[in-house]
Amino acid sequence: MGLVFQNPDDQLFSPTVFDDVAFGPMNLGYSKAEIQKLVTNALEWVGMGGYEKRSPHHLSLGEKKRIAIATVLSMSPEILVIDEPTGNLDPAGKWSLIELLGKLE
């Protein structure tokens, strides 16, 4: 089971987006090549490919929420629990996130 917190700032703590998304797979013992693939796939899935070297602390709230979701998706959970995923987002951000979550199986 994967949990995404209501406030992504409570979940994002690394200096780069890559490090945040890689944290889970790294602690699960995946190889560097597997971690690279999992991080790339998770970021592309949430529409944040190319953000690997950016600081998560300088992103918009909507971008942070997508990165927080990627941190959990990188571990391929069977169940995903998200606390108020659209809270504090503007209407466009809400619909974008709802569309993204609708793609989950």
Residue 25 is predicted with a pLDDT of 98
CB 15 within 8 A of CB 34: no
Which helix or strand (DSSP H or E) is residue 2 part of? strand 2-4
Which has the higher per-residue pLDDT, 90 or 13? 13
Domains parsed from the chain with CATH numbers: 2-102 (3.40.50.300)
List, for residues 49-72, the tens digit of each pLDDT value: 999 999 999 999 989 999 999 999
Which has the higher per-residue pLDDT, 22 or 89? 22
Residue 20 is predicted with a pLDDT of 98
For the entire predicted model, the pTM comes to 0.90
What is the C-alpha separation between 47 and 101, in angstroms, rounded? 12
List, for residues 74-92, the tens digit of each pLDDT value: 999 999 998 988 888 888 8
CB 48 within 8 A of CB 66: yes
In 3D, which of 63, 84, 72 has the Cα closest to residue 7? 84
